[in-house]
Structure 1
Amino acid sequence: MASSSIPLDSSLAGSTRDTAGAPEGGASWRWEVIRPYAGWGLAVLGAVFIVVGWIGISGESLVAKQMPYLISGGGGVALVGLGVLFLGTEERQRDRARIDQLEAMVADLHSVLLVRADGREPQASGASPAADGGNDALVALPVGQSFHRSDCVMVQGKSNAEPITAREVQARGLKPCRLCEPTLEESDSRT
């Protein structure tokens, strides 16, 4: 009844936080809010038990009378450990959410950087340029050591790039460009 009067933000529904340690049911958002406070509370309560146990043991000389204080001190250590666990996992969940956000941003940046200036999608390394419908003319620079496809960025804007055939490539001993990866079959198909 009280939970129906609490307005829920729509951004909570799309939260990427991991609630694996949260109790079942609709109380997961409450658990996320309470978890750090529960961790600090358990740590402080454990510290109080440790101090009470220490003071109690120091005032008793008989071992039999020291046992209750020893047990409360041991329980205090357990409570401090549980509190630190709650606090540590909360910070780890925040870090995981930040890393997920950074990974999404890097993926977006990666997709933007892979878009070519000429509007074409980047070619897979094993794909044939002729199969993608690319321009199959081969060109080479007069003093160059490699041959290119006519749409290669290495020869765009170069006025001295000349069309070349497969025989000329073999005669001059030209190597294929490592960027556009032309094949000699492209030149044979146009003749």
Structure 2
Amino acid sequence: MRTTRLRTVHPVLWAGWAALAAGAVLCVLGWYGISGERYAERQLPYLASCTVPGAALIVAGAVLLAHGRNALAGARVEELYGLLVAAGPADADGAGQPAAAPVAVSGDLLMVPGGTLWHRADCPLVAGKPEALPVDSRVLAGGDLAPCPICEPTASDGRPSEAAG
């Protein structure tokens, strides 16, 4: 499934390569013409007619290649986005798919000192953090911490420790 924009990028890339090749040929011809002349006043026509336009074509070719590659990358991103959006609603209905497993199911509640959330012990945000402490019920009652939106704990999930400090 190729988009129209993706097809229109290739001529820009071909034009860039053609401009680079033509510029290189003109520079070589200018160099060859200049190398056969001894006096500077006889070298100027080669410089003006071959080398300067050749250098300009090389710069133009480089610009076209850069633009073509950016446009090609943009077209690919648009194509992938279109595929993602097209696949989204069909997958979002959930027909025939098992329900998503909860992120965390532990009954133990933890908090990180200085944090603003309380978590289940197996929540990915606190799992493996040695500084995580059991939640004190006084902190929960005071409303200083909010439940984690990832693991969605409730105060009745576990029995917070009274000895936490």
Q: Name the TM-score, length of structure 1 as normaliser.
A: 0.43
Structure of higher CA gyration radius: 1
Determine which structure has greater relative contact order: mean sequence separation of CA pairs < 8 Å that are 6+ residues apart, divided by chain length. 2
TM-score (norm 2): 0.49
